[in-house]
Structure 1
Amino acid sequence: MTRQELEHQLLNLSLADKAEIIQSLTKNLSMSGKGITKTPGVCGGEACIAGTRIAVWLLVEAQQLGIREAQLLQDYPHITAADLVNAWAYADAHPEEIAAVIRANNEVA
């Protein structure tokens, strides 16, 4: 399908469908991993805070266990509040991935 064909189809959608697609694309473009990296061979290739080996799933699990952001920043002094925002945004954009990794790591433990 060409871009022009796709554009034609999009223009024929209802306003609600257009709004949903715009929201999805915006979320994907703005939160698809800014400050988050996946490097084969590093932390099993899991999503991590850029420049660290701190996995997003680990931070999400800590949050689920009731650990507050202030404590996470104290425990991991080389990350910033912006890094946590990026981690939460990544987790929100990829909930199934994060849940699966948390489950897998809890099964191993």
Structure 2
Amino acid sequence: MTTTFDQAQTLVASMPRQERAKLFVWMAADMADQHPGIEFDPRVCGGSARIAGTRIPVWSLESWRRLGADEEEILRNYPSLKPSDLINAWRYVERHLHEINREIEENEAEE
């Protein structure tokens, strides 16, 4: 289920002040969560987390991994990537599993 900004704004406005404060603290920490080698831009890959300087979304690499591809195979299929790019991607997946699962699901549904 995709939540739009307006829906989220309405939901947050209806929350008690104490709950909004907890949400704010969580969002600030989430937004400050720095991931070296990972970029976001709403104009590239739909804003999905991607390997810096590429159009390769993290969810796509994780999808390969879930299908049984090892790192060597992934690097063969993406010759512009370095092993450190995969390390950064796996760290991102670890910290944002819910997001990655949702993106994989959404992209599988489009196929």
Q: Give TM-score scaled by structure 2 length.
A: 0.69
| Aligned-residue identity in percent | 41
Match of 1:68 in 2: 70
Unaligned residue ranges in structure 1 (runs of 5+): 1-24
Does the CA contact (< 8 Å) of 1:32 and 1:90 recur in 2? Answer: no
Match of 2:45 in 1: 43
Q: Which amino acid aligns with 1:33?
A: H
Does the CA contact (< 8 Å) of 1:32 and 1:93 recur in 2? Answer: no
What is the RMSD computed on CA atoms of the aligned residues? Answer: 1.8
> Whose radius of gyration is greater, 1 or 2?
1
The CA distance in 2 between the partners of 1:105 and 1:59, in whole Å, is 13
Q: Give TM-score scaled by structure 1 length.
A: 0.71
Task: Map 1:1-109 onto structure 2 (within 5 A).
Answer: 32-109=34-111
The CA distance in 1 between the partners of 2:106 and 2:42, in whole Å, is 18
Give runs of ≥4 in structure 1 deviating > 2 Å: none
Unaligned residue ranges in structure 2 (runs of 5+): 1-28
Cα displacement (A) at 1:41: 1.0
Number of matched pairs: 82
